[in-house]
Amino acid sequence: MMVSERMRPYMENNSAIRAMFEEGKRLAAIYGRENVYDFSLGNPNVPVPEVNEAIREIIDEEDFNVLHGYMSNAGFEDVRETVAGSLNKRFGTAFSARNILMTVGAASGLNVIFKSILNPGDEVIVFAPYFVEYGGYVRNYDGRIVEISPNTETFMLDLEEFREKINGKTKAVIINNPNNPTGVVYPEEVIQALADIMREKEQEFGTSIVLVSDEPYRELAYGGVEVPFVTKYYHNTVVAYSYSKSLSVPGERIGYLVIPDEVEHSGELITAATIANRVLGCVNAPSLIQKVLKRCIERGISVDLETYEKNRNLIYSRLTEYGFTCAKPDGAFYLFVKSPTADEKEFCEAAKRHHVLFVPGSSFACPGYVRIAYCVSYEQIERSLPAFRALAEEYGLSR
Amino acid sequence: MMVSERMRPYMENNSAIRAMFEEGKRLAAIYGRENVYDFSLGNPNVPVPEVNEAIREIIDEEDFNVLHGYMSNAGFEDVRETVAGSLNKRFGTAFSARNILMTVGAASGLNVIFKSILNPGDEVIVFAPYFVEYGGYVRNYDGRIVEISPNTETFMLDLEEFREKINGKTKAVIINNPNNPTGVVYPEEVIQALADIMREKEQEFGTSIVLVSDEPYRELAYGGVEVPFVTKYYHNTVVAYSYSKSLSVPGERIGYLVIPDEVEHSGELITAATIANRVLGCVNAPSLIQKVLKRCIERGISVDLETYEKNRNLIYSRLTEYGFTCAKPDGAFYLFVKSPTADEKEFCEAAKRHHVLFVPGSSFACPGYVRIAYCVSYEQIERSLPAFRALAEEYGLSR
């Protein structure tokens, strides 16, 4: 056998999201891009022209070999200082460059932290629905995912089940706020209650339990909704951030980990994570884009939220008008819609016949729902509406 | 304990190369950059201005969200086609885009391939001296490194010891040509002999053994020396390439894997590697720099070899003149010099007192030698010569 035994489960459960993305490209080639309504992937459609301006300036101003060369495995010192300073200003924290590790996106940041902390058999708790890639990241280091059932009323954290399932083998807990796939934002009191339970259980079991806060959608919250900064509520918190959404650069693979001094043995963990970043083969986060995000922070550049909010308002109001059921999302750029038929994969197939692509909830451990990514053009949403209406009629939803 | 048990060995054997790089930055801050002669890291000093030109053009011409957005996990289709076409033209191969997987540098490519093929306990053979990070990459997937002793006469592959150590548990063999740290280039007859043994042993044990050819220095060969393209000599070959050296962009993290159709179950291996690229958290190779290398290939752009050759000629001739012993390197940008004292770490410390930094051979499983990276400015080499001469005198080498 050429392929390792351990790769087989990954191949059998290959990403349905990615498969849908590839399917979208296939259909677009046949029917034309404008006739395929691809809501499958969180691939932003809103340009941030200031990113390109920063690139132009930087390549003009900086020394070629410093700009494109190796730096410390943790990233450029000045970039990490700027990130730390910006977090301190926004959230009243006291980070310095040493608390910031630049990573190849949040996905790589999560791999780095799990490699750093997980022993074989350690449990990592996730709240359904959740980004299934977490399962792969945890399995990479022989950890075991423990799922908390979804609360399909509010899509808030089910803290009762959490309290029951957290145990002496629990090494980490992942939250994702604002949430993919629901778009829900966990408010302060939810984070506070989660933190209280984790502190209590750390004491009860005499263990350290890391709260891994995956925050690629931090900046995407609408109508003034606040996204709590988790390190303030719980000592053993590690934040994984990505610029994929806030600067619309998911292909560039840039993000960071925050490992606060409040984390137990923080110095050792920072060292471990820096080595993990190197030895997993990333070596360092891509260099030019590090410098770019520094300038964007200094200039207060972030993606135009109004575009996404306008998208959300249109698609949410129309779909509910057509009879679909869905919690109104306060953040991210997803709707998590109840499938009109129990087998939501069948619903996805029906939608595909209308050239509408979205992803089954079973890809997020929450069957019976589908995720619609509205990080597309307003025009695509408008053009897709007749198809959604036709789907609603097909399932007898229309009022 | 916050840090996992499995991270501990990595922390105890943390990279001496990286430590020296950090030391160089520290000394430069104290004594001034021009008074510290840092030969520790393979961090190129030769700019490739065409890279910046390509960046300017691309950000002017391409759609923001396509350029900086997600693409297939294997990389942009047009980029992979260009890479395949260029290899075909240069080496008479018949690759298509599907044989090329864009990666976050060669280091990540190696992680991807080892994750794809290694079962726990599988053996991976390396030839000393070798880049010790290979040990970490193999251990990441619970593989076991098996070392072949260095041939300190020629630094060619010791194929007799290889034949003895290859066995039924051997899953892969790594070669690195041109070689880091010796600068030696393995010629066709050596590759051919290696391939013959591997074919014979595959038959004998009824196994598949992958030849992993790590080739970041492929373009860096001097005086018309040819670097054989290994897929032509052995069916189960996977090539890991990086643009770090040929475009002087190590910080940008860009490279690729070649998985030829001739590899057993190649389709399955390509799928596994593409998934590994995603699930290890890279997701895809950074997007802008993918497009950049495409233009550089189309325009035949590569780093100016003469600069490195001039460096090599200067440092090799002077150091041997001062009495140091070293195999003349045909490629890469390293000299692997015999330490004038058995404990080469002591020699490194002595050099540091002259503000000259290089790396002990024990970091390459070859104690008694040191690696000098001459990918620095010609002026740095010139300025460092009195320090090398003084060192030679200190050790009684000068003639």
Q: What number is the ipTM of this complex?
A: 0.96
Give me the count of residues in chain B. Answer: 399
Supply the pLDDT for residue B134: 97
pLDDT band at B17 (very low <50, low <70, confident <90, very high): confident
Q: CB B112 to CB A281 under 8 A? A: yes
pLDDT surpassing 70 at residue B394: yes
Contacts of A119 in chain B (CB under 8 A): 4-6
Q: CB B3 to CB A116 under 8 A? A: yes
For A111-126, the pLDDT digits (tens) are 999 999 999 999 999 9
Q: Give the residue from chain A lying closest to B118, CA to CA.
A: A4
Q: How far is A308 from chain B (nearest CA, A)?
A: 15
Q: CB B68 to CB A250 under 8 A? A: yes
Contacts of B48 in chain A (CB under 8 A): 64
Q: CB B279 to CB A136 under 8 A? A: yes
Q: Would you state the structure tokens that stand for residue B282, as one six-digit string? A: 């890279």
Supply the pLDDT for residue A34: 84
Give the type of residue at B135: G
pLDDT surpassing 70 at residue A261: yes
Q: A5-48+303-394 sits in which CATH class? A: alpha beta
Q: How many whole angstroms separate alpha carbon B367 and alpha carbon B336?
A: 11
Contacts of B18 in chain A (CB under 8 A): 73, 278
Q: Give the residue from chain A lying closest to B108, CA to CA.
A: A281
Contacts of B110 in chain A (CB under 8 A): 281
Q: CB A272 to CB B7 under 8 A? A: yes
Supply the pLDDT for residue A33: 83
Contacts of B10 in chain A (CB under 8 A): 272, 275-276, 279
Q: CB A64 to CB B248 under 8 A? A: yes
Q: How many whole angstroms separate alpha carbon B240 and alpha carbon B257?
A: 5
Pair type for strands A123-127 and A170-176: parallel
Supply the pLDDT for residue A17: 75
Option in A41, A104, A276 nearest B7 (CB): A276
Q: What angle do CA B173, B161, B219 make, to 5 degrees?
A: 45
Q: CB A2 to CB B281 under 8 A? A: no
Specify whether domain B49-298 bears CATH 3.40.640.10. yes
Q: Give the residue from chain A lying closest to B9, CA to CA.
A: A272
| Domain range summary for chain B, segments of one domain joined by + | 5-48+303-394, 49-298
Supply the pLDDT for residue A28: 87
Option in A49, A115, A284 nearest B7 (CB): A115
Q: How far is B366 from chain A (nearest CA, A)?
A: 21
Q: How many whole angstroms separate alpha carbon B324 and alpha carbon B398?
A: 8
Query: Among A205, A195, A204, A208, which Cα is nearest to A268's?
Result: A208
Mutation for A interface: B288, B296, B301, B307, most A CBs within 10 A? B288
Mutation for A interface: B253, B269, B277, B308, most A CBs within 10 A? B253
State phi, psi for A241 to the nearest 5 degrees: -120, 155
pLDDT surpassing 70 at residue A251: yes
Q: CB A279 to CB B10 under 8 A? A: yes
Contacts of B119 in chain A (CB under 8 A): 4-6
Supply the pLDDT for residue B202: 98
Q: CB A117 to CB B3 under 8 A? A: yes
Contacts of A118 in chain B (CB under 8 A): 4
For B40-76, the pLDDT digits (tens) are 988 899 999 999 999 999 999 999 999 999 999 999 9
Q: CB A281 to CB B116 under 8 A? A: no
Q: Give the residue from chain A lying closest to B46, CA to CA.
A: A65
Option in A56, A117, A284 nearest B56 (CB): A56
Option in A6, A110, A286 nearest B253 (CB): A286
Q: How far is B97 from chain A (nearest CA, A)?
A: 16
Contacts of B21 in chain A (CB under 8 A): 70, 72
Q: CB A280 to CB B283 under 8 A? A: no
Mutation for A interface: B6, B7, B246, most A CBs within 10 A? B7
pLDDT surpassing 90 at residue B249: yes
Q: CB A282 to CB B107 under 8 A? A: yes
Q: CB A279 to CB B45 under 8 A? A: no
Supply the pLDDT for residue B23: 83
In sequence order, the 6+-apart residues with CB closer than 8 A to the CB of B267 are none
pLDDT surpassing 90 at residue B384: yes
Q: Would you state the structure tokens that stand for residue B199, as one six-digit string? A: 């074919």
Least confident of A276-290, B17-31, B295-309: B17-31
Q: CB B248 to CB A14 under 8 A? A: no
Supply the pLDDT for residue A22: 82
The pLDDT > 70 percentage for chain B reads: 99
Q: CB B279 to CB A109 under 8 A? A: no
Bond preceding residue A216 cis, omega within 30 of 0: no
Give the type of residue at B340: P
Q: CB A287 to CB B111 under 8 A? A: no
CB pairs under 8 A between A and B: 277
pLDDT band at A399 (very low <50, low <70, confident <90, very high): low
Tally Cβ neighbours within 10 Å of residue A226: 10
Query: Among A118, A366, A84, which Cα is nearest to B2's?
Result: A118
Q: Give the residue from chain A lying closest to B252, CA to CA.
A: A286
pLDDT band at B398 (very low <50, low <70, confident <90, very high): low
pLDDT surpassing 60 at residue B399: no
Identify each DSSP E strand in chain A by its residue range: 37-38, 100-103, 123-127, 144-148, 170-176, 210-214, 237-242, 255-258, 334-338, 356-357, 359-360, 369-373
Supply the pLDDT for residue A330: 95
For A174-189, the pLDDT digits (tens) are 999 999 999 999 999 9
Contacts of B271 in chain A (CB under 8 A): 11, 14
Helix H segments across chain B?
A: 8-12, 16-31, 49-61, 64-67, 77-91, 105-117, 133-139, 159-165, 188-205, 266-279, 287-298, 305-321, 344-353, 378-394
Tally Cβ neighbours within 10 Å of residue A29: 10
Contacts of B208 in chain A (CB under 8 A): 1-2
CATH number for the domain running over A50-298: 3.40.640.10
Tally Cβ neighbours within 10 Å of residue B200: 12
A253 contacts A75 by C-beta, under 8 angstroms: no
B360-365 average pLDDT score: 94
For A73-104, the pLDDT digits (tens) are 999 999 999 999 999 999 999 999 999 999 99
Option in B115, B265, B282 nearest A108 (CB): B282
Mutation for A interface: B52, B123, B169, most A CBs within 10 A? B52
Q: How far is A191 from chain B (nearest CA, A)?
A: 22
pLDDT surpassing 70 at residue A398: no
Supply the pLDDT for residue B15: 67
B392 contacts B385 by C-beta, under 8 angstroms: no
pLDDT band at B327 (very low <50, low <70, confident <90, very high): confident
Q: How far is A43 from chain B (nearest CA, A)?
A: 6
Please say whether the dihedral angle defined by the alpha carbons of residues A319, A323, A329 and A335, taken in this order, is positive or negative. Answer: negative
Contacts of B268 in chain A (CB under 8 A): 2-3, 11
Supply the pLDDT for residue B124: 98
Give me the count of residues in chain A. Answer: 399
Q: CB A70 to CB B250 under 8 A? A: yes
Question: How much is the mean pLDDT over chain A?
Answer: 95
For A172-229, the pLDDT digits (tens) are 999 999 999 999 999 999 999 999 999 999 999 999 999 999 999 999 999 999 999 9
B285 contacts B255 by C-beta, under 8 angstroms: yes
